[in-house]
Amino acid sequence: MIKRLNHLAIVVPDLAAATATYRDTLGAQVSEAQALAEHGVTVVFVDLPNTRIELLEPLGDGSPVSNFLLRNEGGGIHHMCVEVDDIKAARDELMDKGARILGDGEPKIGAHGNPVLFLHPKDFHGCLIELEEV
């Protein structure tokens, strides 16, 4: 069902500092910061040869990643995103197997313009998994 690793998402308290670490210390290719108001985050994409890392900083009130920073002051890995061919078929199969989908179970348009869903971390050994239809 799951295919390529699309991205790893890391929530950070200071996006500029984190960007500098990936660019200067680790020597990675990083994008300009993009404010995604509808997703409540500002994001920097770190491009690696085989995948991408997204550095996320909360944007505005009620950001979906604010609580994560309260629990993880210095930041940390928030979720991983894996690709699927057909997100609704994947969702139905996972629900048949007893896995829980976050929210109302309907795919939303994610930060890359593709439909996404999040799976309950308690059903996946503590890892928040994002499915993205690519």
Q: Site residues (CB under 5 A) for Co ion?
A: 9, 81, 130
Nearest approach in angstroms of CB 28 to Co ion is 18
Nearest approach in angstroms of CB 78 to Co ion is 8
Q: Evaluate whether 80 touches 9 at the Cβ level (below 8 Å).
A: yes
Nearest approach in angstroms of CB 85 to Co ion is 18
Q: Is 38 a catalytic residue?
A: no
Q: Which is nearer to Co ion, 25 or 34 (CB)?
A: 34
| Catalytic-labelled residue, pool 57, 83, 130, 132 | 130
Q: Which is nearer to Co ion, 24 or 34 (CB)?
A: 34
Sorted by sequence, the CB contacts under 8 Å of residue 91 that are 6+ apart come out as: 101, 105, 107, 117, 131
Torsion-angle region of 116 (φ positive above 0: left; ψ -120 to 50: alpha; else: beta)? beta
Torsion-angle region of 104 (φ positive above 0: left; ψ -120 to 50: alpha; else: beta)? alpha
Cite the active site residues: 130
